[in-house]
Amino acid sequence: MKKNNLKSDHQPFICGKTEHCCINAIPLFQSLTDEQKKKIHLLVQHKHYLRGETLYRPGQIADSLYVLKSGTTRIYRLADTGKEQLIRIVTPGEFTGELALFKEGIYEAFSEALSDCFVCAIKHSDFRELLLQYPSISVEMLATIAKRLATSEQQTAWATTETVKDRLLHFLISLADPKAIEPIVELKMAKKDLASYLGTTSESLSREFARLEKEKIIEEISYGKIKLLDFP
């Protein structure tokens, strides 16, 4: 039987088109050999989305795992009232669409491109086979999902037990380097998306940013870049 972990004698795996190459840029696949990466590359569907386009929406049949090669997307839900709740921002190297991986189902949230994006899509049926062949992918995926679950639980706790000011401050601290004296954190989302993520309004969030600056707890040194002046 041919072993999958045998080293190849030829050159390392290189995609033909850099902008379409997901395999070398994705943490899920970094433990694989070049030959294994080649096999996965043949399963990938390369897609391009313009800013504002929807990758998937609630009610749509969930049949693929989406891996982001470049750009940024956001995952959000809409309440019956029409109020939007941001779940997370997806950045290059991350994946989405995995919740229906092990069952037949539909997507339950929206995925929208925040910028022009290159996406690598793998059919769920193909990806299930990959998980069986290469357990290291399963381990990497479970670690990512566990981290997301912890973040989601934290988000729920913030929304139900803390003031908007405390939610904002704790969120900024969660992004900071604890070893830095006055760390600078960079928001990976627009402030309106941050307001949705923290369960508040853009107006309330702006007031709390201004209050924290007035109290000399933070300093906004440029748009989206915040210096923490009073770091616990």
| Residue range 27-54, pLDDT digits in tens | 778 888 888 888 888 888 889 999 999 9
In this prediction, residue 100 carries a pLDDT of 66
**Confidence (pLDDT) at 54:** 95
* 110 vs 205: CA distance, rounded Å: 23
Confirm if 171 and 228 have CB atoms less than 8 A apart.
no
What does the pLDDT read at residue 21?
A: 64
Which tens digits make up the pLDDT trace of 49-101?
A: 999 999 999 989 888 889 898 899 999 999 888 888 899 999 998 888 887 67
Give the residue from 8, 112, 13, 10 showing the smallest Cα distance to 58.
112
- Split at pLDDT 50, 70, 90, the class of 19 is very low
Which element (helix H / strand E) includes 142? helix 135-161
Dihedral-angle region of residue 71 (phi above 0 means left; psi in -120 to 50 means alpha; beta otherwise): left
Mean pLDDT of 214-224: 89
Least confident residue range of 6-20, 77-91, 139-153, 185-199:
6-20
pLDDT of residue 8: 33
Structure-model confidence comparison of residues 4 and 167, the more confident one: 167
The alpha-carbon radius of gyration of the chain (Å, integer) is 20
State mean pLDDT over 222-227: 88
